[in-house]
Amino acid sequence: MKKDEVGHNFLARLGKTRLRPGGKKATDWLIANGDFDASKKVLEVACNMGTTAISLAKQFGCHIEGVDLDELSLEKAKKKYRSKWFTRQNSCTASQCHEIAF
C-alpha cells in the first residue's frame, strides 16, 4: 500500500469489491429493516464506488444520494451510475457532501 493511498483503493487493487462495516450480513440486516420504498430518499455516506446505492435503487426504486470524500471512488461511482438504467424515481448521484441539497 502506498503511503498516500486510501485504504479502500488498496483493497480494491487486491480484488475486494465491497467494503462493509459489519460485513455483508450487517448490511443485509440494515436493508431488510430499513423500510425502503420508491417514496424514500436515501443518503449513503461514504458510498465508495456506489455498489450498495445502485443495489438499493434497483431493488426498491428509491432515490439515492451517495457521497464520498475520495475523488477516484466518486468518478468510478458516477461511471457505474451512467452505465446503469435509472429513471427519475430510480436514480443515484455521487458527490462531495457539500455539493448536495439533502
Can you give the pLDDT at residue 48? 81
Can you give the pLDDT at residue 20? 66
Encoded amino acid at 47, one letter: C
Whether pLDDT at 1 is above 60:
no
Can you give the pLDDT at residue 37? 92
Mean local confidence (pLDDT), 79-96: 65
> Alpha-carbon distance 34 to 89, whole Å?
18
Q: Identify which has the larger pLDDT, 94 or 65.
A: 65
What would the pLDDT profile of 18-74 be if each residue is shown by its tens digit?
A: 666 677 788 888 889 999 998 998 888 888 888 888 888 888 988 888 888 777 888
> Alpha-carbon distance 98 to 87, whole Å?
24
Grid coordinates representing 66 are 451517495
